[in-house]
Amino acid sequence: MTSRTAATALSDRAVPDPALSDQALPGPVVPAADRRAAGFRFASYGRALTGHGLRARLDPARARSVGLATAARDLLADAGPGAVLVGMIPFAPDADPHLYIPDSVEAAPLRAAASSSVSASSTPNPLAGLAGAENPGYRDAVARAVERIGSGDLSKVVLARSLDAVAGRDWDAAAVWERLHRQNPAGHSFMVRLPDGSGTVVGNSPELVAGVRHGRLSSHPLAGSAARQEDPAADRATASTLARSAKDLAEHAFVVDHIRTALEPLCADLDVPAVPDLLPTGQLWHLGTLVRGTLHEGLNCLDAALAVHPTPAICGTPVGAARAAIAELEPEDRGFYGGLVGWMDADGAGEWALLLRSAVLTGPIARLHAGAGIVAGSDPEAEHRETATKFGTMLAGLGITGLDITGTGANA
């Protein structure tokens, strides 16, 4: 990457994709009396979709029989005009998705949706304890993964760990959702109540896996990151270094090549920029490439998302070997972390984001997840520190700030 390209990238302040910024969210619109009671909320590009109640649930057995995208398409067709499919798809391919059609949906400008919710400036929930900030098992897993990479078993694996934030009272998912959006309005803010009533998944993803409007597809993969700095000059220097990092550029190119290979058979045309841009979030700088194309007739945004997912940025490569390593080296099932979250209408339009920068809220316990890409030469201590930095987004969404869990003396 040349100096000119890096300088241009520094000025690209995470503007919304123009192909989706005027996304016509589904109708008919049914005003919601209380958005705080919603089972599903998804905000992006200045618009928010809110779902209430349950009209129909996607049958996991049918999805396994005919394919998830086909089952979703059939469910929408059976549900009638105005139906919208919403929910989450887990990381593990054999795990059941949580996809359903709400009784009613409300599509509104984000300002209106947020103003009827809860003030993000409300008093944060007092923190009673934090478990998992120091995780020797994660360092050990990274070391074992590096050994496997050295033996040629795989080239890269993304290893995640968890962190539990225990509060003095039950977490307010609506308040967390709005706080996350205010932190990063350019991201994809989501809140999904779990089907068994055991909790709520809430987060703000910086990464669009597949968004479709009128057959036009957008995908915005991220790979390669660096921690933001409080000092503006140091922050700009960090971004510039990332834009020229041979290691990060190579990692990013590998992910983009994966997406190109996955999407080319689905598209009549596909535009893949030769160099990435820089995407700033509250805690990190990311390398990102905005991929655009035209889907073949009859395909929908879920077809595209499932073709791409999982990318090497959330799983590793080769995918089969990386999945096996994750299952062995991570002490718990990821659940929906690392999966997909979003919505789709009967015309195949919609958005699916990578489910990360998230937490599962269960009463007073918030379980956060964060991962790092492990390659040859990865340092266990550095990867532990990187995941600590990534926890910072969700911790701030919970109202927990000024807490150093990186071991560097810097706020996470």
Q: Give 297-351 pLDDT, tens digit per residue.
A: 999 999 999 999 998 889 999 999 999 999 999 999 999 999 999 999 999 999 9
Weakest-pLDDT range from 113-122, 204-213, 332-341: 113-122
Q: Report whether pLDDT(31) > 70.
A: no
Q: Which helix (H) or strand (E) holds 231?
A: none
Site of tokens 């589904």 = 26
pLDDT at 116: 46
The alpha carbon of residue 137 and the mean position of all alpha carbons in its chain are separated, in whole angstroms, by 25
Distance between start and end Cα atoms, the chain: 30
| Cα–Cα distance, 373 to 302 (Å, whole number) | 25
The alpha carbon of residue 219 and the mean position of all alpha carbons in its chain are separated, in whole angstroms, by 12
CATH of 3-119+127-397, one of 3.60.70.12, 3.40.50.300, 3.40.50.12280, 3.60.120.10: 3.60.120.10
pLDDT at 1: 35
252 backbone φψ class: left, alpha, beta (φ>0; ψ -120 to 50): alpha
pLDDT at 409: 43
- Return the domain boundaries, the chain: 3-119+127-397
98-123 mean pLDDT: 70
199 backbone φψ class: left, alpha, beta (φ>0; ψ -120 to 50): left
Query: Average pLDDT over the chain, rounded to whole?
Result: 87
Whole-Å CA distances, 87 to 98, 221, 274 = 6, 21, 33
3-state DSSP assignment of residue 351 = strand
Name the more confident of 159 and 406: 159
Is 156 noted as a catalytic residue in this protein?
yes
Task: Give the global pTM.
Answer: 0.89
pLDDT at 35: 54
Whole-Å CA distances, 366 to 271, 284, 396 = 40, 22, 12
User: Catalytic one among 106, 156, 251, 386?
Assistant: 156
126-153 mean pLDDT: 95
pLDDT at 365: 97
Whole-Å CA distances, 80 to 63, 105, 194 = 19, 14, 25
Q: Report whether pLDDT(108) > 90.
A: no
Weakest-pLDDT range from 20-34, 81-95, 116-130: 20-34
User: Catalytic one among 134, 147, 178, 207?
Assistant: 207
206-228 mean pLDDT: 93
pLDDT at 269: 97
Percentage of the chain beyond pLDDT 90 is 72
CA angle 261, 220, 178 (to 5 degrees): 145
Weakest-pLDDT range from 27-31, 74-78, 129-133, 192-196: 27-31
Q: Report whether pLDDT(402) > 90.
A: no
Tens digit of pLDDT for each residue in 220-235? 999 888 989 999 999 9
pLDDT at 123: 67
Whole-Å CA distances, 63 to 69, 77, 187, 300, 349 = 8, 15, 29, 16, 20
Is 390 noted as a catalytic residue in this protein?
no
